[in-house]
Structure 1
């Protein structure tokens, strides 16, 4: 099992100018800091052949293409994982805040 903990960030100004599509055309500068609230991600191999992803919803699917969670779907595609994995996300703050 792999468990990560990443602090949330608060942007004071310039949020979004750190994206390549923006800074390549107009440059960018961001002023932000982290706070003492975290996002946890746990990844574990499953005994079943399926993929299980748990966040505000729980999805159990046979292939990454069936996942509704865009980030997890594309991460699994990128690393070539097609089955037998569980990804669980837990946050110290509500989604969308």
Structure 2
């Protein structure tokens, strides 16, 4: 099992200026900080080979491409995790 505790980030200004579509055309700056609130991620192997994702809703799928949550779907694709 892998458990990750990540501090949440709060952006005050320039929230979109760190994206390539913006900074390739304009100058950008971002002012942000982390706060004393955290997001926890737990990764555990499932016995049936499927994928279960819990956030404000629960998804149970057979492959990462079926996951509706875009950040989770792309994170699994980036790490080449195909299930279980």
Superimposed CA distance per residue, residues 20-66 of structure 1 (whole angstroms, 9 cap, x where no aligned partner): 22112102111111111111111111111111111111111111121
Counterpart in 2 of 1:66? 66
Aligned length: 84
Q: Which has the higher strand share?
A: 1
Name the TM-score, length of structure 1 as normaliser.
Answer: 0.78
- RMSD, aligned CA: 1.2
TM-score by length of 2: 0.89
Secondary structure of the equivalent of 2:22?
Answer: helix
* Structure 1 ranges of 4+ moved more than 3 A: none
Q: Which runs of 5+ in 2 are unaligned?
A: none
